[in-house]
Structure 1
């Protein structure tokens, strides 16, 4: 086994966050090469899934605080 230089007791100091796969976004399977149209639709859905801006909440005196079309990536599916 190779020893790692600069680490204590052979433990790596690097942290790799887990990769989150969302196959439901891609029709049940992940494609290595996505079609351009599908990529554009996914990007549009990603951009639409934002919170209500803070200035809107301030301007409406908290009458508008939630986004009615918010979508959770795991709980709902896309028709992309």
Structure 2
């Protein structure tokens, strides 16, 4: 599922209470890359989509790999849930 990472992040908004924190590390490159169920690297298109339901509290490490398929640059991000789940 090429959108499984985004679906998982939406599920995290329901697991964390509104205002809860998530610590996340993802591989960064200058160009987005999906190799389906093997791995993904995040670039200027997919990274904002991954964080869309969260406020970015702090980013540690800003290096981006310039070659495709290298997973050496991992940015560590502290995210805060801005949505949460509505209970009925």
Q: TM-score, with normalisation over the residues of structure 2? A: 0.20
Structure with bigger gyration radius: 1
Q: Which structure is higher in helix share?
A: 1
Give the alignment's TM-score, normalised by structure 1. Answer: 0.21
> Whose RCO is larger (CA < 8 A, sep 6+)?
2
